[in-house]
A and B are shown apart, each in its own frame.
With several copies, the nearest count.
Chain A
């Protein structure tokens, strides 16, 4: 039978129902990236503000499945306050974890570890990574 419990962890459902950092801002200090997954209609916009090498804020807005929407919220919580370097390290580790690649287990993923189960659902990896990829794009813009 189904092993859906591995996917829909409590943390995920919590962030899906009560997203943190939701809503975009109109502020030129933020960099914005918009990614779509036309396959299933996921459509997410991420904003980030970096100051003095530190991720000061992340905002998100969009529509999509629970995995997609919650991951934007979780990501915001995990990454805000980190240095850009730390954030990049977490990002890399997280994406490697999702895609069944080797990853550094020493890196503290905090609540993002809840998405470990996604790697068993290849068709959903994109849902869990789209917000993070959009964040990555905003970082590139900041450089």
Chain B
């Protein structure tokens, strides 16, 4: 994969010095995705479903064909793809609709300290509301979820397993192919947070056998304001809507109403139309690049970077065995917020903080971490720019007395 060529697809790289290493927070957006968004607004920017004239017909067709594109992309059926505001919104729908209806007093919900707040907290709320028990998978010494440790907490009382595909802090990939069948054996449903998975590797919901799976548009070259919730048809069928209103209802009486079928019963009001259409374009772009190439490219960058980082004294890497393009680290004795300003001075964008995952930050026994994350447009020049800056940072902070 020629990342230098790919950079040309992104207007933000008109700034030649930009070294963007924060794709796990939000990816950059290629021009063709923005153009598709523009085209919606400039040529047929009207409402969907409700209109019976031509412009509205076009908008509806494009919106729904984007749903089909995404369904094909993850090997789901059309009716199993719900457009949401983002991954957080999607994960909340699972907890509020499925969780609140199916979890009862004494039931167990399996979570873990690696989860993003958007996956952890909705279930913390369900557990509280329903007097269910929140059970944590013990992490290994590396901070990983293993099948073995999962089995230690799986019981016949387990009703739900809320788990990430890829950790946004540690970058580890969860062994879901093993965990999901085990969970199904005890009759639990598995809700997968794939916000960090779908942008980087092929996910086939059917072969994975996930019950629910959520991801965001803005982390996979798409716009903000859009995400996806996949749910198995049979589960969606018997679930109640969370929000009620226009476009999700079949018939309305004064005191009763009947909702449409999925996915529409979960999509009340005017949906994020332009956003959904543009997300379809992002999917096409990813498919053209090819997941194999993406994975290989990110791996190579990651391996090179970690190898070089390990040569620098005064740097701690928290996930040296990581299998994705996410590297968590700190400069010893330097608060990440101080460090990140140094990198910013070199036009290198990276995250400092708890990355919406306070539990694992605490598990690491630090106040916060630095994180770089690679994506399709990152080059070895980016890696070198980062490594040079990292050396400079270590030296600088030492020199001023940290």
Contact = CB atoms under 8 A, between A and B. Distances in A.
A/B contact in complex, CB under 8 angstroms:
yes
Interface string A1-25: 1111101101001000100000000
Contacts of B401: 13, 17
A122 B57 CA distance: 7
Interface in B336-386: 336-338, 341-342, 344-346, 352-354, 367-368
Given A123-B54, A123-B57, A123-B344, A39 B353 contact: yes
Contact of B345 (A3, A17, A36): A3
B124 to A, nearest CB: 17
A40 B335 CA distance: 10
B338 A65 contact: yes
Contacts of A123: 51-54, 56-57, 341, 344
A123 B335 CA distance: 15
B354 A41 contact: yes
Given A39-B49, A40-B353, A127-B337, A2 B392 contact: yes
B232 interface: no
Number of chain A interface residues as a range: 20 to 34
B402 interface: yes
B400 interface: yes
Contacts of B338: 8, 65-67
A7 B341 CA distance: 10
Contacts of B367: 41, 63
Interface string A61-103: 0011111100000000000000000000000000000000000
Contacts of A67: 337-338
B52 A40 contact: yes
- State which size class the interface on B falls in: 20 to 34
Given A4-B345, A41-B367, A41-B368, A122 B54 contact: yes
Nearest to A2: B345
Contacts of A17: 401
A133 to B, nearest CB: 15
A124 interface: yes
B250 interface: yes
A39 B51 CA distance: 7
A10 B399 CA distance: 11
Contacts of B250: 36, 38
Interface string B61-104: 10000000000000000000000000000000000000000000
Contact of A40 (B61, B249, B336, B402): B336
A78 B249 CA distance: 34
A10 B336 CA distance: 20
A42 B52 CA distance: 12
A124 B354 contact: no
Interface in B260-275: 260
A66 B335 contact: yes
A9 to B, nearest CB: 9
Contact of A64 (B50, B57, B335, B354): B335
A66 to B, nearest CB: 5
Given A40-B336, A65-B335, A4 B341 contact: yes
B41 interface: no
A63 B366 CA distance: 11
A105 to B, nearest CB: 26
B396 interface: yes
Nearest to A120: B345
A1 B345 contact: yes
Interface of B: 49-54, 56-57, 61, 249-250, 260, 335-338, 341-342, 344-346, 352-354, 367-368, 392, 396, 400-402
Given A4-B345, A13-B402, A41-B337, 16 more contacts: A2-B392, A4-B400, A7-B341, A8-B338, A10-B400, A13-B401, A36-B250, A39-B50, A40-B352, A40-B368, A42-B337, A65-B337, A66-B335, A66-B338, A66-B402, A123-B56
- A-B residue pairs, 9 tightest by C-beta: A2-B345, A65-B337, A65-B335, A40-B337, A123-B57, A8-B400, A13-B401, A41-B368, A65-B338
30 contacts: A1-B345, A1-B346, A2-B342, A2-B345, A2-B346, A4-B345, A5-B400, A7-B341, A10-B400, A13-B400, A13-B401, A36-B250, A38-B249, A38-B250, A40-B337, A40-B368, A42-B337, A64-B335, A65-B335, A65-B338, A66-B335, A66-B338, A66-B402, A67-B338, A123-B51, A123-B53, A123-B57, A123-B344, A124-B52, A124-B341
